[in-house]
Amino acid sequence: MAMDFLDKIPGIIGYAVISAEDGSIEEVKGSSTTPLGDLAAFFSSAGEVIKNSLSLGNINYISLCYGANRLVIFLQDTKYLGVEIEREQDPVQIIEKIKTSTAAPVEEAPKPKAELPRSISSKVQQINLLVEEFGSGGNSAHWLEILNQGLGILAGDLLPYMGVIEEKLGFKEAPLAEREDEFVQALRTIIDFLVKKAVEEMGSSQARVKVQTVIEKMRQAS
């Protein structure tokens, strides 16, 4: 079962898909800085052992808290899902959102994209152009992963609002107007992060050329 729909659910920072049959890690996505795959695989297996040895019956979910986040692990058809959310979020609500999304019998109309202020949308556009330019020549997956790393490290409590959606940075829901400056600053730090990584990987000369190409594309689009 494809799990790409999880990328679009607000509040999900990252997730791991574990085979219920053999406990293998099938997929890990998102901007988490923790080893979601290993945690979900271990605790889903441990939960089964504890449940059986103590005759506890069905366990609806397992919730692990660490730092500002929590990992919620539950059985979804033939897979275990380990979903990272903010610590204050209700695990039951996020599970219901996921189950509702997979149970929809008819195709729903696409949700309108979050309306972003120009100060934020221009930074999002710049980031997506940088990732596209740095990843040209068949290296796009690598740069999307670097973008995910940057989000996980730098976005902080803004992370649930945004993420990589359909291979581009996007917003899952519109940011609060009073936090606009925070989002702009976070996106600036992510731009700096991407450029520094480009300099490390391809040298300052080639990175500078690619950055200049992005600047020209943004000028033409404005």
Residue 84: the pLDDT is: 95
Residue 221: the pLDDT is: 80
Q: For the domain with range 4-103, which CATH number is right: 3.40.50.10470, 1.10.150.20, 3.60.15.10, 3.30.450.30?
A: 3.30.450.30
Strands (E), 69-117: 69-76, 79-86
Residue 192: the pLDDT is: 96
Of 18, 54, 21, 59, residue with least CA distance to 39: 18
Q: Would you kindly state where each structural domain of the chain is located, as residue ranges? A: 4-103, 118-221
Of 150, 134, 141, 160, residue with least CA distance to 191: 150
Global pTM?
0.61
Residue 175: the pLDDT is: 83
Query: From first to last of its 222 residues, what are the pLDDT tens digits of the chain?
Result: 567 788 888 889 999 999 988 889 999 998 888 999 999 999 988 887 877 787 777 788 999 999 899 999 999 888 999 999 999 999 999 999 888 876 544 444 455 566 889 999 999 999 999 999 999 988 888 999 999 999 988 888 888 888 888 889 999 888 888 999 999 999 999 999 999 999 999 999 999 999 999 999 998 887
50-56: long-range contacts at Cβ-Cβ below 8 A with a sequence spacing of 24 or more?
none
Residue 56: the pLDDT is: 73
Put residue 135 in one of left, alpha, beta given phi > 0 → left and psi -120 to 50 → alpha.
alpha
Q: How far apart are CA 186 and CA 75, in angstroms?
A: 35
Residue 60: the pLDDT is: 86
pLDDT tens by residue, 118-166: 999 999 999 999 999 999 988 888 999 999 999 988 888 888 888 888 8
Residue 14: the pLDDT is: 92
Of 24, 40, 43, residue with least CA distance to 84: 40
